[in-house]
Structure 1
Amino acid sequence: MPCWICATCGTQYKRSPEPPSACLICKDERQYVKHEGQRWTTLHQMQQQGYNNIIEAECPGLTAIYTSPKFPIGQRALLIHTPHGNVLWDCVTFIDAATVEKVKHDFGGIAAIVISHPHYYTSMVEWAESFQCPIMLHARDEQHVMRPSQSIRFIQEDEQQIVEGVTALRLGGHFTGSLVLHCSLPTVERPFLCTGDTIMVVPDQNPKAWVSFMYSYPNLIPLPSKEVARMRDQLAAWKFDKIYGAFKGQHVEAGAWDAVMRSADRYVGILDGNITRDFY
């Protein structure tokens, strides 16, 4: 029996002879079902259709993994290289023997997988089984796991060290268990933050970098101002200079901590009416 994959969000479900009647991830108001309706595929079908993973250096100590052609949301995973083992941040649906061989041969495998939120759970179990490593998810999002596995370890606290120098922080917002990953490594000059969709790097990066926050990105549902203020205050004590976002090209190269604080202040101020703009 196959593990069916939603062709809209990339979530892989537990084995069944027929696909599920609906994708519970896409039925949630943070995602969507396409106009043409629910569609399903399998990893085997994807492997036969010419998909492949691009694995390329993002910066010293960080390697990006993304699928070509784009499938389905188009996010990337980030492999963080540490002296204590490699940590895979977020996940992509597609995986094949070539991907596994390259990651093992070039980088020495994966010590742990940490995923920011349910939209990127994808085929995490396939990755964990291929690399014989645990998957770290926050317990507040346990109900969104569609393929249970003994590889899954649920983070119970708001802060969890994954390996030395790599810490998962629960900020919530997009999902109640939404995480970011703070990295302070001897091989990297300055600390950096991997944000998934918890904090979104936006196009406006010149002369200053900006980020934003959302409950639903595709449906443009904002977060309440008090939640963004809480996220800002929670992150304030964690210093970092760079951000690496969920998609290729999404990064803040310098001054990232200031960008998050300033962007959160703007978001809160506009929603609360304390920052004035011309709206009418």
Structure 2
Amino acid sequence: MTSTSPSSSSYLVCNTCGTQHPTADRTALTTCFICDDPRQYTPPSGQSFTTLSALRSSSSPRYTNKLHPFPRGNDHDDNDNNDRFTSIATHPKFAIGQRAVLLRTPHGNVLWDCVTFLDDETVASLEARGGVQAMVISHPHFYSAHLEWAERFGCPVYLAAEDKGWLARRDGGGRQVFLEGVETRIEVGGRDTGVRVVKLGGHFPGSLVLLYDGHLFTADTLMMTPAGRSNWSVDALGNPRERPKGVNTFSFLWSIPNMIPLSADEIARMWNILRNYDFTSAHGLFLGWDIYDENIKARVLESMQIQIRAMGHVEHPLLEATL
């Protein structure tokens, strides 16, 4: 396992988005270009930076990464206890607060997305689960400290070629692999892991989703809504009920924090790619954002049609689409 550069722990990390910048000079870096983009934001308190060294040594709060088992889903997942998937989240919340997910496959472990914080305890916990042989980052807001992780585990990290301009840190050792096509098969040691990375775009030109054995990992390429995670199975008295019609499961946004939607044509372009894949569950960017439903693909299409109608489109080709 390759160790990180001793100086990288002093590189400045944006407190708002968690991006690690390749300098320790606070006079040279006064703003975060990720947060200056309309798809992100700077908080009312203003721009501020920390370092991995400070996060690791802090006693109040004391940051730690906790590993969370995935929720039980369908029968297949119950049979294998769903130990193929483990969420990794920093506690207390740091920056955006997204989770990373370790996918354990017969031919190597793949880390989907990344969190900024990394310490020896996290490394030991993941090594006990077989380590990390490949990483895939969905989009620039989750680039975080991915080179710290890739260097520590000695693995490649896959990123969309369209979004390489948003990289704060560049790797001279070839760990960053830029994906050009719509679909990429993730291999480890020349063996197919079964993991498929699909470039949908939308939020960013290269925004990715990941598919593995019927599980769709969406990050915020498809933004899971509170209504999408609602429990509509019974009413307050325990009586069976159906999901109300017209309730969305996902939204499709160019800027998530600033709530700027994608255009109808861009949503339709995304569907024309995603329609070619089958999945029976969806897993969003935060802990607990998991939906197991045999009809989840139909709910993606339904959500797209709901948003297009809400944007004022009475006629649009996607409104006529069916599975």
- TM-score after normalising by structure 1: 0.92
2:308 is aligned, of 260, 268, 280, to 268
**Identical pairs, percent:** 41
1:175 is aligned, of 204, 226, 229, to 204
1:253 is aligned, of 273, 292, 311, to 292
Q: For the residues of structure 2 that align with 1:100 and 1:23, how far apart are their CA atoms?
A: 28
Partner of 1:101 in structure 2? 124
Q: For the residues of structure 2 that align with 1:15 and 1:134, how far apart are their CA atoms?
A: 23
Matched position secondary structure for 1:215 = strand
- Aligned positions of 1:30-45 closer than 5 A: 30-45=39-54
1:160 is aligned, of 184, 190, 197, to 184
Partner of 1:241 in structure 2? 280
Partner of 1:113 in structure 2? 135
Shift of 1:15: 3.0
- Aligned positions of 1:67-146 closer than 5 A: 67-105=90-128, 107-146=129-168
Q: In the TM superposition, what whole-angstrom CA distance separates every residue of 1:3-38 from its partner, at most 9, and x where no partner exists?
A: 110000000011343351210000000001122211
Q: For the residues of structure 1 that align with 2:249 and 2:220, how far apart are their CA atoms?
A: 14
Structure 2 segments unaligned to the other structure (5+ residues): 1-6, 72-81, 233-241, 316-323
Shift of 1:155: 0.5
- Counterpart of 2:305, as a letter, is D
Partner of 2:15 in structure 1? 7
Contact 1:173 1:215 in 2 (8 A): yes
Contact 1:193 1:244 in 2 (8 A): yes
Q: For the residues of structure 1 that align with 2:105 and 2:305, how far apart are their CA atoms?
A: 33
- TM-score after normalising by structure 2: 0.80
Q: For the residues of structure 1 that align with 2:90 and 2:30, how far apart are their CA atoms?
A: 26
- Aligned positions of 1:186-265 closer than 5 A: 191-204=214-227, 205=230, 206=232, 207-208=242-243, 210-254=249-293, 255-265=295-305
- Counterpart of 1:94, as a letter, is F
Matched position secondary structure for 1:25 = coil
Matched position secondary structure for 2:34 = helix
* Structure 1 stretches of at least 4 aligned residues deviating more than 4 Å after TM superposition: none
Contact 1:225 1:272 in 2 (8 A): no
Q: For the residues of structure 1 that align with 2:257 and 2:137, how far apart are their CA atoms?
A: 20
- Counterpart of 1:214, as a letter, is L
Q: In the TM superposition, what whole-angstrom CA distance separates every residue of 1:139-190 from its partner, at most 9, and x where no partner exists?
A: 0000000011131110011111113311110000000010000112xxxxxx
Shift of 1:247: 0.4
Contact 1:229 1:265 in 2 (8 A): no
Q: For the residues of structure 1 that align with 2:17 and 2:312, how far apart are their CA atoms?
A: 33
Partner of 2:77 in structure 1? none
Matched position secondary structure for 1:148 = coil
Q: In the TM superposition, what whole-angstrom CA distance separates every residue of 1:226-248 from its partner, at most 9, and x where no partner exists?
A: 11111112101100000010001
Contact 1:201 1:252 in 2 (8 A): no
Partner of 1:25 in structure 2? 34
Matched position secondary structure for 1:160 = strand
Shift of 1:270: 2.1
Partner of 1:46 in structure 2? 55
Shift of 1:262: 1.0
> Between Structure 1 and Structure 2, how many residues are aligned?
268
Q: For the residues of structure 2 that align with 1:257 and 1:273, how far apart are their CA atoms?
A: 22
